A and B are shown apart, each in its own frame.
Chain A
Amino acid sequence: MKSIKTILDRELPDYIDGYGEVKPFQGAFSDGGIKTRKAVKLTSVTPYDRKVLANLEQVYDKLNMKDGMTISFHHHLRNGDHVLNMVVEGLAKRGIKDLTIAASSIFPVHAPLVEHMKSGVVTGIVANYMSGPVPEAISRGELKKPAIMQTHGGRPRAIESGDLHIDVAFIAAPTADTYGNINGVYGKSACGTLGYAISDAEYADKTIAITDNLVPYPACPIEISQVFVDYVVQVESIGDPKGIVSGTTKITKDPVALIIAKMAAEVIKASGLVKNGMSFQTGAGGTSLAVAAGLKDIMKREGVVGSFAAGGITGYLVEMLEEGLFKTLFDVQCFDFKAIESYRNNARHQFMSASMYGNPHTKGAVVNNLDIMILGATEIDTEFNVNVTTSSNGVIMGGSGGHSDTAAGSKLAIVVTNLMKARLPMIKDKVTTITTPGENIDVVVTERGIAVNPRRMDLIEKLSRTNLPLVTIGELKTMAEKITGVPKAVRNSEKIVAVVEYRDGSVIDVVRGSRDTSSAMRSSCQTRALILDA
């Protein structure tokens, strides 16, 4: 085993057990050109075949489920999802081992996976984002193979190219008909669009619709078509609506976050990108929404009508659509009831698959058309590399999701973050884990100053004509450390517990096992500020 380096100077082994050969990251756009999609083997269906099976046991029998298979799930039911646990539990009861779970995201609700990891039922996990007990267990080294962390665009790329082969896709279907047509807009577990499930349905060897709302043929609208679905099975409940969507998404009341959002909106204005036909994406977090609110004010004041807003869609963006501030919404995932309702009723609220959203190896993803992107960060380094995968203690607690995809595609990628969080400085010499390369990050906005990537001299020039507090990234780091002190480096073990894949399938970083979460927490920061020294 040799050691190789990425273009960002991260040292990686050239081969990782349980993962395979490592293709080191060579730059955001280094892997273009001719690409092929894999061919799919399928079993054709005759007019005499019926697709509805009585229960999941029959499904497993029909599919001849066996050890070592890769099974996939989408995360549209988020922390209300029942399907992943239900299926893995059923397969475990049958004595099946060595499964790889390819889920677009893992949430706290998937905690039962931890036991299945220990017992060897689950030995591999592939996901774009993970939170809760599962990534904590992975960080402790409890998964046999290294987990593979992908991006929202990288996952469909991997599936469509054949890099990620799915034996069976289990699609949680809020509504399905007897012939396998699926939508997410009706039923008690409605979640809106099913953007993250499309490649799974189309490229898996077998595709199963699991629904709690089986309707007579045909289910309309059709988001996933019958031509991709092998079987349909009805269960009592695919999810808990309370965990699926939040009732309303609200703008933060946190005063520091509001200051950051206000400055970010002013940066956007100064960039000159606020004009007719503009496009915009932001997350559903409180600060990101506050940036949207600031942008909305600017757009209204200047009479600007945008082309589209994209990504996971919240009620707030729906309001902007309805007020005529954007002509279209591109929706890969609905975050709240208002978004679901709008997607169901408004033709300008346009569905997009994860592949259309961010897959770099297509004939053009939506992120490529994006002007402005608002991003979060757990850590940023002085080269503008961003970590949203691990905590500062090296424990997995997130993942790219669409971070790397939108940063690469957009004209202006702005990271908004507090300069300090829980006594830790957020700007470091080197981030714990690289999720998104600094070459794609243009601006970092904190409550104490704004740093522009030196690659963007044009932006520096524009912003220096404003009253905004422009500083260098090094100055931001100094400001933070003046208050928090310099944290000690966290020493992780040698064992690679996760491989962080960039959207093109190259490896941008690895995550090594945490030694002891609690002691790492204690030693990670020497704080000298505000100590009661009476």
Chain B
Amino acid sequence: MERLRRSMLFMPGNNPGMLQDAAVLGADSIILDLEDAVSLTEKDSARILVREAIKTIDYSQVEVVVRVNPLDTEFGPHDVEVIARVKPDTLMIPKANEEAIKLADKMLDQIEIEEGYLAGSIKLIALIETALGLENVYNVIQASKRMVGVLLGGEDLTSDLGIERTKEGEEIFYARNKVATACRALKVDSIDTPFTDTDDFEGLAMDTAKAKSLGLTGKSAINPRQIEIIHSVLAPTEAELKHALRILEAMEEAEKEGKGVFSLDGKMIDAPVINRARTTAELGQRLGLIER
């Protein structure tokens, strides 16, 4: 079954206590960060710490994503070289563009051969946080078969655009649309930028709902206390689930009767509506909200 990536929790790669407990905090994915959370003087020690953590700690309950440094810095390639050898699930490439994704892909090809790992088993997620990366996001996703998702980095993107980042987030409306659409087209996950006020849970819920309404499939978190709210917003509501199940039941009925198109409550039900109902019901099942 495909991974759920509703929530991806950033954890600083230089904090042993947090690395130890990262797996039990309830997030679908944890992002062990070697980039922004780690100061220049600690880049090497954090890299070693994260490597040892992956070797030592049982992370089987979560997806382990390591955010390496940008590949055009002196740290980035070294991070890939060291971390890929202990086989994280996924690497996250910051300041992503086609070139960086292709470089990471090539390095991973080589490491997988050397270490005897299944080819293509280490996945990639692109962190889109520049205007260039955003405009080119479709090609970035296509740059490697390893790509499983895109994370939109709202802070860096607005900085690159020279515009103000606000709590309401109207300024990233286009970026959210663009990322969501490209990801949907290429069938990878689209993860929204984190909500940075860790004490404003109402704001977090609104921000998550906004991302969900634009088609993003997950949201990143910078504090463990954000996870539960993200999951509750992204889960289908009871009404959505009931409606989806009714559509699927009606479809089964129609199939028995040999009807292609049918109607429910006076509305015509066709393929897109059925597909949507199927997606909702599947998600509901995976989250344990409805029985299989």
Contact = CB atoms under 8 A, between A and B. Distances in A.
Interface of A: 253, 255-256, 258-259, 420, 447-448, 467, 479, 482-483, 529-534
A2 B278 CA distance: 75
Residue of B21, B25, B53 with highest tally of chain A CB at under 10 A: B21
5 contacts: A259-B24, A448-B24, A529-B20, A530-B19, A530-B53
A530 B224 contact: no
A258 B225 contact: yes
Interface string B46-60: 001100110011100
Interface string B1-23: 00000000000000010011100
Contact of A255 (B48, B57, B225): B225
For the residues of A in contact with B, the DSSP-based class is loop
Given A530-B19, A531-B52, 20 more contacts: A253-B225, A255-B25, A255-B224, A255-B225, A256-B21, A256-B24, A256-B25, A259-B24, A259-B26, A420-B20, A448-B24, A483-B56, A529-B20, A529-B56, A530-B16, A530-B20, A530-B52, A530-B53, A532-B49, A534-B48
Interface in B221-250: 223-225
A534 B45 CA distance: 8
A529 B21 CA distance: 13
B44 interface: yes
B224 A467 contact: no
Interface in B55-95: 56-58
Contacts of B48: 532-534
A258 B288 CA distance: 22
B19 A259 contact: no
A124 B190 CA distance: 68
B279 to A, nearest CB: 23
Nearest to A479: B58
A533 B20 contact: no
A530 B20 CA distance: 9
Contacts of A482: 58
B21 A530 contact: no
Nearest to B21: A256
A256 B225 CA distance: 10
B114 to A, nearest CB: 21
Residue of B19, B45, B224, B288 with highest tally of chain A CB at under 10 A: B224
A349 B23 CA distance: 42
A258 B24 CA distance: 11
Nearest to A482: B58
Contacts of B53: 530
Residue of A253, A479, A483, A530 with highest tally of chain B CB at under 10 A: A530
B83 to A, nearest CB: 14
Nearest to A256: B21
Contacts of A258: 224-225
Contact of B21 (A253, A447, A479): A447
Contacts of A479: 58
Nearest to B45: A532
Interface in B103-148: none
B38 to A, nearest CB: 14
A74 B56 CA distance: 49
Nearest to B25: A255
Contacts of B224: 255, 258-259
A255 B198 CA distance: 13
Given A530-B53, A533-B52, A534-B48, A447 B288 contact: no
A467 B288 contact: yes
A155 B24 CA distance: 40
Contacts of B16: 530
B54 to A, nearest CB: 11
Q: Sorted from nearest, which 5 A-B pairs have the closest CB atoms?
A: A255-B224, A447-B24, A530-B16, A256-B21, A534-B48
Contacts of A448: 24
Nearest to B199: A253
Nearest to A484: B20
Given A530-B53, A534-B44, A259 B25 contact: yes
B4 to A, nearest CB: 15
Contacts of B52: 529-533
Interface string B242-267: 00000000000000000000000000
Contacts of A420: 20
Contacts of B26: 259
Contacts of A530: 16, 19-20, 49, 52-53, 56
Nearest to A253: B225
A467 B289 CA distance: 12
A272 to B, nearest CB: 20
A484 to B, nearest CB: 10
Residue of A259, A467, A479 with highest tally of chain B CB at under 10 A: A259
A442 to B, nearest CB: 22
B24 A529 contact: no
Contacts of A533: 48, 52
A117 B119 CA distance: 71
B288 A529 contact: no
A479 B53 CA distance: 15
Contacts of B288: 467
